[in-house]
Structure 1
């Protein structure tokens, strides 16, 4: 089953979900690690280039995932969910998608505004041009500082949303005993546990 159905996710949606989950977890861990290093440490530059490289991969996959979701809507939420739970599910997914786009973009603008003018070369192969820094962000140091703050705070917000997302999936599986988690693991029709 490639496409989503009314009751389950297809292979493409499942592949997007788990690929991005691994990439984002790695990006968050790498970001926390590299920002703890002294700027003069031997490998600091390499870690930042790796973080930027995977950031562009996340951005590209997030755009593709959104396109896939538009042309291939997600399955319906379980009928046993309250209106409030459905609201939280939609709000959480909107936040996750928004941050999947916002974090790479704020990082790209931050690098573009940096007075250091350090190039971004994806995986030491493909150079990526800097973005023009919009005038309303102020001069380059002000724009860099703002984007840095947005990027860092966005990363912490993403961590909080991921924890909530995982907790909700486990709640659905172990307490509600519905098929929410099962349908993101397998394309086989899931049956509720009780």
Structure 2
């Protein structure tokens, strides 16, 4: 089995990282949007710490995904893809990586500058602070975290819409290249 990406499709490592990041983004979004409505009980702080730990996990996975892409390459644009579409797809991917990196970093900055109790990654290891307590920096981190979320949501919606447009209307392999291959049955069909 080839673990790297081929000129035709994303490999299994890229697919796994992609879909794991998608799941974490959905979970983090749902939890993040509901944090303000939770009562400030011990359970709130547990959920908040879980949100922060999962955000840092997402950060690590995105760094890993970018590193893997540098090592494994990326598939070529599908034959017949207009140059402007290929460039737009490439720019969108770059923006997605940038935003998915910036989101947890802004949250980490907010946590650090807020002077809150030490963050322990899933209760296992203390996470270093990015700054000393600083109210203005904390406000900036919080504002950036919120604005980056909404910007990321818009770019993700565009990314998903483009994938479905290609799949449903163009009937090309854009979406299938990021999905695991279907196994063939004994009769040779899929």
Structure 2 length-normalised TM: 0.89
Does 2:25 match 1:24? Answer: yes
1:101 paired to 2:95: no
Q: Does 1:119 align with 2:113?
A: no
Does 1:184 pair with 2:184? no
CA displacement at 1:16 relative to structure 2: 0.6
> How far off is 1:42 after superposition?
4.2
1:35 positional shift: 2.7
Report how far residue 162 of structure 1 moved. Answer: 1.2
Aligned residues: 181
CA contact (8 A) 1:59 1:101 kept: yes
Unaligned runs of 5+ in 2: 183-190
Structure-1 separation of matches of 2:10 and 2:86: 18
Shift in alpha-carbon separation, 1:123–1:187, aligned structure 2, 3 A? same
Report the equivalent of 2:187. Answer: none
CA contact (8 A) 2:53 2:122 kept: yes
CA distance in 2, matches of 1:35, 1:87: 39
Runs of 4+ with >4 A deviation = none
Q: For residue 186 of structure 1, give the secondary structure of its aligned residue in structure 2.
A: coil
Report the Cα distance in structure 2 between the residues aligned to 1:125 and 1:9, rounded to whole angstroms: 34
1:19-98 aligned within 5 A:
19-38=20-39, 40-98=40-98
Alpha-carbon distance between aligned partners in 2 of 1:37 and 1:86, rounded to the nearest angstrom: 43
Q: CA offset at residue 81 of structure 1?
A: 2.1
Is the 1:11–1:187 contact (alpha carbons within 8 Å) kept by the matching residues of 2? no
Residue in 1 that maps onto 2:140: 146
- Tell me the CA shift for residue 79 of structure 1: 2.4
TM value normalised by structure 1: 0.88
Contact 2:166–2:173, Cα closer than 8 Å, also in 1? yes
Contact 2:4/2:73 (CA < 8 Å) preserved in 1?
no
